[in-house]
Structure 1
Amino acid sequence: MKQSNICMITNIGPHYRYPIFNLLGEALNTDFYIGDRLQFEIKTFDYHALTGYKKTLHNIFINKFYWQKGSLRPLFGHYKYFILDGEPFCLSSWVIILLARLMGKKAIAWTHGWYGREGAVKRVVKKFYYALHSKLMVYNEYSINLMEQEGIDRNKMVCIANSLDSDKDMEIRRQLGPTDIYSKHFNNSDPTIIYCGRLQKIKKLDMLIDALVELKAEGINANIIFVGKDTEQVDVDRYALQRGVSQQIWMYGPCYDDTVLGQLFYDAAICVSPGHVGLTAIHALSFGCPVITHDNFAYQAPEFEAIKPGITGDFFHHNDTHDLVRVLKKWLGQNDCQRNQTRSAAFDEIDSKWNIHYQLDIIRKITND
């Protein structure tokens, strides 16, 4: 096998990133050095199953900062490109970047970039840190625009987007068609709103219940399905009971079967995440479901950019339940023809950018100079 010239050193191997990592291993012969833990719980994939896996690094934490033990060794090998997390809290990354410059090698950041809520000190640190890299692969154009305003060279940045298991989701998508899963459960033909993800306080799910109450008062009936584990005793079902809409909600619980999830998204009228939306947006759009979330982008995850207002979803004013209701009314009233047009637009958005093959092409171009 051809010797790899690409080395990826990352803090952890999140479960959702296995498809893109494995594709990079297969298509670009990338080698991987992956950290063993973070300071919070995250589901990881089996590192040994990854094409190109070389070593698990031990992350040593000092408050928010950490050092990846053994991460400097690949620098003295045959690699030309080093793809890093673009995480200033990783002290060993600073050393790798500086040594790579001295050795004529290239450090590439795969990063969230700017959020838009950075304080003065963080802005200075980030600008200096990113200036040391040869290229910046940033999750969305929103962050790239903010970074350009901070004086970072636009030509140095490229949008890498984000992805789930694109190929698997495409296969599932091809098998989907309308079912009666919601009408059978709720015993009505009212449109169903879906929330999918962990049930956490930061997701502000009480807003969805309040919106349901307000819609009902206006004579608009709808259902809500909550798919996910209640990790923080949010007790959405108890709140729905207090508000008198418990018959209109379905506490589905956690589900990790994409075939089942694909159908739930496909048949839903809209996916709503009142807090930040994250990869739920990509998940929903992959199966043709439009997405609604709030409009304060500094407090959003990068995937909000897959939402094109009026086309693949919409935004409501941050923390404003009445505005959420206003937006919901637009989407809950879609007829079958409009819903099919939305599905098609959602598929087009995912196929154009938010998939592993788009990401592979970006990295191939960057490491082929």
Structure 2
Amino acid sequence: MRNAMDEVRLVVQPTVSHYRAPLLKALLEQQVLPLSLLGRYANSEDRQSRNHIRSASAEILRRVDELKFREWRNLRWERGVVPSVLRGEYRAYVLEGRVYTVSTWLALALGRAKKTPVFLWGHGWKRPESGLKRTSRVAFYRLSSGLLVYGDRAKEYAVSVGLDADRIAVVGNSIYATQDLIDHAVPNRPSTEEDFTVIVSVRLTSRHRVDMLAEALALMSPGGRRTRVIVIGDGDQAETLRESFEQAGVAAKFVGAVYGAESLAPYYAVADVAVSPRASGLNIVQAMGFGRPVIAPEIDPTSGPESELVVDGHTGLQFPLDDIGALARALQSLRDDPDAAVRMGQAARERVLRTHTAEAHSAKIVQAVKGWLDRDR
């Protein structure tokens, strides 16, 4: 039986949701660094029940201790974390890098005082900050023994405001295991297909701006291929969006929430391109993993670092934020050049298989934490 003092206590970021299951499985199965997982089971983007995020399977939940918490507005207190650090129950801790979690501030301070390493894991900076917000976040991160972030821009900005580059590791993000992507690979779309099919896979909330896609498709000049849309996801804007596509004269099929590579593969198999109008995240990793190019905004303060995977002209196309005309032109260019869409889709899949599988994600987390622990021994 393992001794807890040899283990690293890792808080799952952000929650023990269905899309975290492949990563959690990889973390639990790796043999390099003994881990004990703790995570929140409550998975909701907001208080609308239709925006609820499905939890991981019962098998995964059995292997992750439940993290109880209380919230008041933006502030959160995670129960049990501070007493555990105070007692020194684990060799080190990896906590969610959420600046509004009061218990994490105290855990970081206690870790410093007791010489117990406390690392942070999260997005880091999604956008530049100033004033008290930036000062608070810099102080928060400086208390940690190391910072795990999802993307390169977060690290670059952290270094620009004075944080130590050697204490920041870019670990990426993931949604599927390598074998899932191999087992459920979809063929390239033939250039002779009569339909030009656009797929969008997001939670159907106002922040994701799927209505922009309807407007952009209505602006496209006529072409030789019929345009249709597959909308994957559910949320409180579903009915409004149905009306938007209908008014735009675009054939849109709403299939609801779909989970798992096996269930999603048939939809991506008939799609030419994926679009993420706003608030991009793991939907980019999903689409690229299935070998589809992604059209997304150049710089979007509501998007996660996964948007960095969209390299204009290589793994997809970018358009200026909220520029519906530019989005229409990007769609039209791939409709009229299906070979380019296939080429970008192949590059997109290769990138995800190389850097954004659950195994790659797990390895980067473990390598960074173990490296810091070994260096500080």
Tell me which residue corresponds to 1:25: 28
Shift of 1:45: 2.0
Matching of residue 80 in structure 1 with residue 85 in structure 2: no
**Runs of 5+ consecutive residues of structure 2 not aligned to the other structure:** 47-51
Aligned length: 358
Tell me which residue corresponds to 1:266: 269
Q: Distance in 2 between matches of 1:257 and 1:354?
A: 16
Q: Deviation digits for residues 63-96 of structure 1, max 9, x if unmatched?
A: 2111112122332245222101111111111111
* Selected match of 1:56 from 57, 61, 66: 66
Tell me which residue corresponds to 1:203: 208
Q: Distance in 2 between matches of 1:157 and 1:86?
A: 12
- 14-23 or 105-114: which moved more? 14-23
* DSSP-derived class of the 1:210 partner: helix
* DSSP-derived class of the 2:81 partner: coil
Q: 1:158 to 1:294 in 2, by over 3 A?
A: same
Tell me which residue corresponds to 1:240: 245
Q: 1:335 to 1:45 in 2, by over 3 A?
A: closer
Shift of 1:48: 6.2
Q: Deviation digits for residues 142-184 of structure 1, max 9, x if unmatched?
A: 111111111112121111110012235323334x33589xx9x
2:196–2:227 Cα contact (<8 Å) kept: yes
Give the letter for the 1:273 counterpart. S
Q: Distance in 1 between matches of 2:159 and 2:357?
A: 25
Tell me which residue corresponds to 1:330: 333
TM alignment of 1:162-177, pairs within 5 A: 162-174=173-185, 176-177=186-187
Q: Distance in 2 between matches of 1:305 and 1:51?
A: 34
Q: Distance in 1 between matches of 2:247 and 2:362?
A: 49
Q: Greater relative contact order: 1 or 2 (C-alpha under 8 angstroms, separation 6 or more)? A: 2
Tell me which residue corresponds to 2:282: 279
The two structures, once aligned, show a CA RMSD in angstroms of: 2.5
**Identical columns (%):** 23
Q: 1:178 to 1:204 in 2, by over 3 A?
A: same
Tell me which residue corresponds to 2:49: none
2:202–2:208 Cα contact (<8 Å) kept: no
Q: 1:93 to 1:230 in 2, by over 3 A?
A: closer
Shift of 1:127: 0.2
* DSSP-derived class of the 1:42 partner: coil
Q: Distance in 2 between matches of 1:249 and 1:23?
A: 37
* DSSP-derived class of the 1:79 partner: coil
TM alignment of 1:187-202, pairs within 5 A: 189-202=194-207
- 266-275 or 249-258: which moved more? 249-258
* DSSP-derived class of the 2:71 partner: strand
Tell me which residue corresponds to 1:363: 365
Matching of residue 148 in structure 1 with residue 159 in structure 2: yes
* DSSP-derived class of the 2:184 partner: helix
1:22–1:50 Cα contact (<8 Å) kept: no
Q: 1:35 to 1:212 in 2, by over 3 A?
A: closer
2:288–2:349 Cα contact (<8 Å) kept: yes
2:223–2:336 Cα contact (<8 Å) kept: no
* Selected match of 1:34 from 39, 42, 46: 39
* Selected match of 1:311 from 287, 300, 314: 314
Q: 1:115 to 1:335 in 2, by over 3 A?
A: closer
Q: Deviation digits for residues 80-122 of structure 1, max 9, x if unmatched?
A: 2210111111111111111112222211111111122534211
* Selected match of 1:118 from 101, 109, 129: 129
Tell me which residue corresponds to 1:137: 148
TM-score by length of structure 1 reads 0.88
Give the letter for the 1:207 counterpart. M
Q: 1:88 to 1:270 in 2, by over 3 A?
A: same
Q: Deviation digits for residues 21-43 of structure 1, max 9, x if unmatched?
A: 22212213310222353773433
Give the letter for the 1:44 counterpart. S
Q: 1:315 to 1:343 in 2, by over 3 A?
A: closer
1:25–1:51 Cα contact (<8 Å) kept: no
Matching of residue 291 in structure 1 with residue 294 in structure 2: yes
